[in-house]
């Protein structure tokens, strides 16, 4: 059995019609400058219901991407991802695994899976 730790997972939700632009921005402007490489390990398009009242059932398509990162995600990258949610480039995101909260020479990495 391997003692290697599982990768940090970045789970993104976005509009399938905006995948190209959002993914380019995510790669070129956020992850690559932060020195993070990744592997796409899952890609699903789901029909997600929007709250409504019977007999009305409204839903929209949502693309869910799961990226395995090669290193813990930093708090700066999380702030930039939050900016993508604020600008409606992506619907939302979640981080599973290690998060690097280091600042000013102090090293602190937390794992939200423990």
Q: Check pLDDT > 80 for residue 3.
A: no
Give a yes or no: residue 2 inside a domain: no
Instruction: Give the pLDDT mean for 12-17.
Output: 92
**Per the structure, how many domains does the chain have?**
1
Q: Check pLDDT > 60 for residue 1.
A: no
Domain extent, residue 99, equals 8-111
Quick count: other Cβ atoms within 10 Å of Cβ 30? 19
Separation of alpha carbons 25 and 96, rounded Å:
21
DSSP secondary structure letter of residue 5? P
Q: Check pLDDT > 80 for residue 112.
A: no
- pLDDT tens digits, one per residue of 46-89: 988 887 676 777 888 999 999 999 999 988 899 999 998 888 88
Provide, rounded to the nearest whole percent, the portion of the chain with pLDDT above 90: 42
Q: Check pLDDT > 80 for residue 108.
A: no
Give a yes or no: residue 3 inside a domain: no
pLDDT of residue 67: 94
At 114, the pLDDT band (50, 70, 90 cuts) reads: low
Q: Would residue 36 be called left, alpha or beta, if left means φ above 0 and alpha means ψ between -120 and 50 degrees?
A: beta
pLDDT of residue 2: 47
Give a yes or no: residue 101 inside a domain: yes
- The CATH number assigned to the domain holding 24 equals 3.30.70
């Amino acid at each position: 059995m391997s003692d290697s730790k599982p990768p940090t997972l970045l789970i993104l939700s976005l509009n399938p019609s905006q995948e190209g632009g959002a993914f380019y921005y995510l790669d070129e402007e956020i992850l690559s400058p932060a020195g993070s490489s990744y592997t796409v390990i899952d890609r699903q398009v789901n029909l997600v219901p929007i709250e409504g009242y019977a007999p009305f059932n409204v839903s929209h398509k949502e693309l869910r991407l799961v990226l395995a990162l090669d290193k813990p995600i930093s708090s700066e990258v999380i702030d930039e991802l939050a900016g993508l949610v604020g600008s409606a480039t992506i619907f939302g995101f979640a981080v599973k695994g290690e998060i690097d909260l280091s600042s000013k020479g102090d090293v602190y990495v937390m794992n939200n899976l423990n």
